[in-house]
Structure formats: C-alpha cells, structure tokens
C-alpha cells in the first residue's frame, strides 16, 4: 500500500509558543502518523493585524511564532495572513487562501499531494476549497461545532461554507447531531460522515477518587480543597462556556466546591460574581491546567459540569468519563451520544437550579468510577485515526 500524501490546513494547532492550542487536533494527527500510512504536512495559518503589533500584547506574542516547527516528526508550517480583528472574520478564508496558495503550489510541484484536508469548517474549509480547486485535488472538510453553529448564522460565511461543501469530496461531523445541523444548512447529506473524536487512553483513565483528590490537594500551586464535594468546570473562561451558570448553581449546593480549570477574558467578571453571591470561598480559579495534570483533576472530581452554549462533541466530555467522573451538560451537539444513561451523568437545561439538582442527584447516588468509564470505551485516537485515513484514501480514489 502506497503512503498517502496529505496536506492538512488547521487554524487551531499547537505552536512552540502555544503548546496547548488545538491539542486535540495534534493528538489526532499524531495517531494518524503512527499508523505509518500517511506522509502528512500541517499548515497552521497565523493571523496578524495590518497595524503595528504594539497596539495589542496578544498579537506581539503570536507574531513570535516561528515559520516552521515540528510536532512528533510532523512538519508544521506557520505562514502569516492578514487578520482584521472583530470585524473581518467573514473575509478570513479569502485572505488565508491568498497567503497560502503560492507556498502550497511550490510544495505540490516539488512532491505532489494526494488530498487536501481542512480541520475546521470555517475559516479552514472555504480556504482549503480554493486551494483544492487550483490544484485539482480532492478535499475533505471536518466540522467540529462552533464552526457550524456560529458561522452558519452569518449569511456571508454560510455562503462560503456551502460552496466549500459542494466542492468537497467528503465532509465529516463530530456527532450525528452536528451532521443533522449541517444538512439543515443545505450541505449535501450523502457526503457527510460522522467521525467521532478520539481519546488518549494511556493518559485519561480511572484513578481512585480519594487518591486523586489527595494528589491534587497536595499540589501547592493548585491548593484544591481536601474535603467536600468537588465540582470541576473545564474550559476557557469565556461566555459561551457558561461558567456563570455553574457559579450560580453552587448557591444551591451548600457543601460543594467549584474549581474552574481554564483561563480567559471573563475571569475578573466571574470572580466578581462569586464575591457578589457570597461564594468566593467556594469557587477556585485554577488557571490553565496542564494536559498531564488534567486526568488527575477529573478523577478527583465528583462531577464535571460544563454548561456550554454550544459544542459539537467536546473532547473534555469523553476525557472526564474515561477518568470515571459523571457529567452534567446541556442538550447540545452530541450530548445524547455521550450521556446515554445515568451512568454517564445528566443532561439538563442551562438553568442554575437544574444544574444544581442534577449535581445533587449524582452526589446522592453516585455511579462507580468503572461504570462511568465504560461510557468512554468506544473512543480512542487509534480508531479515530484509522477511520480518518480510510476517508482520505476513499477521497483520493484508492
């Protein structure tokens, strides 16, 4: 069997300066390369504004990203494109395509690619569609959640997404629910396959809860409470993740403690809310948690609460289950494909009292960690990678 040459475009991917950014895409691609069937090149476009970078610290940092890097033997290219913050999102695919096309044409001329892959439907998909058309190559585009639910509401972006879908050989969705949403937006049903996320089974596995709680409580930089029910809410501190709802729900859980695992622009506002509600002593802001420590934190938790506004099929859902910790999540995306019965947790409305009631029910009659972990048994990066390589080969006509 010949090795497939694949060029994958992913705006979300780890860099030497942001090693946790898009880690789930990197996990997938490392599993793909480990199969030995694909020669993979990753293109990670870096958006920078056209004005001096000293206006924004965040862009100064991003600008320091090297032009080339490597992840576990995978070459990663970081070309720049012009980004218009806040108002220019609809135009990003065209700007990405213009920036990438000359470089990719040269790469293709030197060693031809078999398939162009896009890891997000927007902006990656329409940009990749332009490149695939110019090089006359098959195209595979993956949808993950917000790329459909957010950008699909913007007419200009949606028009580009539909055009890219029409051009694509195959389309992927991370859940059956997301597949239905794509069909509702006018994308070709017969070309959309469900491609579930993976799981690092060597990392995310059950550690006995008391042992894990003692471990994370002993880490000085965390200072997790040693006693009392522990609720963990993972994710960036931004409005769509719903940490405000988790804090408000804590008011109905008088013995509970809430640990927010993540960083983001809403931290000051969330701290103020906790203080206003008299909960500051029971809400802890852990900041960004390392990938090595996250499994221990999940195992230590009695419940993982993630009241997001939208998700496709969140990796942290599967990771928490694999650590033996039940979920309380809203009925969004592929939630019902993960929480199929009470052994995995509860699906509830995005209302604080409903979240609190679900947490109370789990605390009153908790499933065993082994029962919970069984819900994640079907997920692995190897299965994810094997399926993806098969989709790429079919797209290439092999």
364 assigned to some structural domain: yes
Cα–Cα distance, 158 to 137 (Å, whole number): 23
Asked if 244 and 351 sit in the same domain, the reply is yes
Identify whether 184 is part of a domain: yes
Residue 56 domain-assigned (yes or no): yes
371 with 262, same domain: the answer is yes
**Entry field: residues in the chain:** 398
Find tokens 């494109």 and name the residue.
81
Q: How far is CA 247 from CA 77, 264, 331, in A?
A: 41, 16, 19
Verify that 235 and 306 share a domain, yes or no: yes
* Rounded mean pLDDT for each run of 10 residues along the chain, 398 residues in total: 92 86 90 95 92 64 87 90 84 95 96 97 97 97 92 95 97 96 96 95 95 92 89 95 97 96 94 97 93 94 96 94 98 94 97 98 97 96 96 94
N-terminal to C-terminal alpha carbon distance within the chain: 10
Same domain membership, residue 192 and residue 335: no
- 334 and 288 within one domain: yes
Q: Is 286 inside any structural domain?
A: yes
Is 204 a domain residue? no
Q: Which residues pair with 284 in a beta bridge?
A: 259
pLDDT at 23: 87
What is the pLDDT, as a whole number, of residue 64? 85
- Regarding whether 214 and 191 lie in a shared domain, the answer is no
**Structural domain of 283:** 209-376
Rounded Cα distance, 321 and 328, in Å: 11
Do 16 and 162 have their domain in common? yes
The reply to whether 391 and 339 lie within a common domain is no
- What's the pLDDT score for residue 53? 55
Residues 219 and 181 in one domain: no
What CATH number is given to the structural domain containing 310?
Answer: 3.40.50.2000
Q: Which residues contact 261 (CB under 8 A, 6 or more apart)?
A: 232, 233, 234, 235, 286, 288, 289, 294, 297
Q: Contact, 348 vs 358, CB < 8 A?
A: yes
Residue 203 located in a structural domain: no
């Amino acid at each position: 069997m010949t090795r497939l040459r694949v060029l994958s475009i992913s705006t979300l991917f780890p860099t030497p300066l942001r090693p946790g950014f898009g880690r789930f895409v990197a996990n997938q691609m490392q599993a793909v390369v480990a199969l030995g069937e694909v020669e993979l090149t990753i293109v990670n476009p870096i958006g920078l504004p056209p004005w001096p970078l000293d206006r924004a610290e965040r862009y100064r940092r991003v600008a320091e990203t090297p032009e080339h890097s490597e992840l576990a033997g995978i070459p990663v290219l970081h070309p720049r494109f012009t980004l218009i913050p806040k108002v220019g999102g609809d135009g990003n695919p065209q700007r990405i395509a213009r920036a990438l096309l000359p470089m990719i044409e040269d790469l293709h001329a030197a060693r031809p690619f078999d398939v162009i892959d896009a890891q997000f439907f927007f902006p990656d998909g329409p940009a990749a569609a332009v490149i695939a058309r110019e090089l006359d190559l098959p195209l595979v585009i993956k949808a993950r959640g917000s790329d459909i639910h957010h950008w699909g509401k913007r007419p200009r972006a949606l028009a580009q997404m539909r055009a890219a879908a029409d051009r694509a050989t195959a389309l992927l969705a991370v859940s059956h629910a997301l597949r239905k949403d794509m069909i509702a937006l006018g994308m070709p049903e017969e070309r959309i396959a469900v491609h579930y996320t993976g799981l690092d089974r060597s990392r995310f596995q059950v550690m006995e809860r008391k042992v894990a709680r003692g471990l994370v409580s002993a880490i000085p930089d965390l200072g997790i409470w040693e006693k009392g029910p522990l609720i963990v809410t993972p994710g960036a501190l931004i409005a769509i993740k719903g940490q405000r709802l988790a804090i408000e729900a804590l008011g109905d859980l008088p013995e509970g403690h809430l640990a927010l695992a993540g960083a983001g622009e809403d931290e000051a506002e969330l701290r103020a809310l906790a203080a206003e509600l008299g909960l500051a002593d029971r809400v802890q802001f852990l900041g960004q948690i390392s990938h090595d420590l996250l499994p221990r934190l999940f195992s230590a938790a009695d419940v993982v609460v993630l009241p997001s506004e939208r998700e496709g099929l969140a990796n942290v859902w599967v990771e928490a289950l694999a650590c033996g910790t039940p979920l309380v999540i809203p009925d969004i995306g592929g939630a019902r494909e993960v929480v199929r019965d009470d052994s995995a947790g509860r699906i509830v409305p995005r209302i604080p009292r409903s979240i609190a009631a679900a947490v109370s029910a789990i605390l009153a009659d908790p499933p065993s960690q082994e029962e919970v972990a069984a819900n994640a048994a079907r997920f692995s990066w190897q299965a994810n990678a094997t399926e993806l390589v098969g989709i790429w080969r079919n797209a290439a006509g092999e």
